[in-house]
Amino acid sequence: MIAFLLCSVAWAIEPVVESVESGQINWTTMELEITSRSDRTVGAWKDVRVQEQDALDRLKPLIEDAAKRVRVFPGTRAEDHMTSTEVSNTIDVAGRIDDGISNWRVRETRYLSNGGVEMDGVLSLHQWLRPALLATLHDSEDLATEDGPTGVLIDARHLAFRPCLSPEVWTSDETPLVNPSRVNPAVLRVRAPAVYVRDPAASQAVDRAGEHPLFITASASTQDCVLILSPADSQLLQASKGFAAVVASAKIVLVVNP
Is residue 241 in a domain?
Answer: yes
Q: Are residues 170 and 130 in the same domain?
A: no
Range of the domain at 37: 14-134
In a domain, 83, yes or no: yes
What was the pLDDT predicted at 4? 39
Question: At 87, is the pLDDT very low, low, confident or very high (cuts 50, 70, 90)?
Answer: low
State whether 168 and 57 are in the same domain.
Answer: no
Amino acid at site 134? L
Q: In the listed set 107, 134, 161, which residue is the last one of a domain according to the structure?
A: 134
Q: Of the given ranges (50-54, 91-95, 96-100), which has the lowest mean pLDDT? A: 91-95
pLDDT, greater one: 9 or 196:
196
170 and 236 both lie in a single domain: yes
The verdict on 41 and 123 lying in the same domain is yes
119 and 173 assigned to the same domain: no
Whether 30 is in a domain gets the answer yes
Helix 93-100, helix 125-134: angle, nearest 10: 180
- Residue 27 sits in the same domain as residue 122: yes
**Does 70 lie in the same domain as 159?**
no
Average pLDDT over residues 106-128: 93
* Count of domains for the chain: 2
Is residue 147 in some structural domain? Answer: no
CA-based nearest residue to 133, from 88, 69, 176: 88
CB 138 within 8 A of CB 181: yes
Mean confidence (pLDDT) of the chain: 88
For residue 142, is it within any domain? no
Write the pLDDT tens digit of every residue in 129-154.
999 999 887 665 555 556 789 999 99
Mark whether 38 and 127 lie in a shared domain: yes
Residues 71 and 109 reside in one and the same domain: yes
Within 8 A by CB and 6+ apart from 240, the residues are: 148, 149, 214
Instruction: Give residue 5's pLDDT.
Output: 40
Distance in angstroms (rounded) separating the CA atoms of residues 20 and 67? 10
Are 207 and 157 in the same domain?
yes
Last residue of a domain, one of 134, 165, 198: 134
Q: Do residues 129 and 178 share a domain?
A: no
Give the model's pLDDT for residue 231.
97
214 and 130 part of one domain: no
The pLDDT of residue 3 is above 50: no
| Residue 12 banded pLDDT, cuts 50, 70, 90 | low
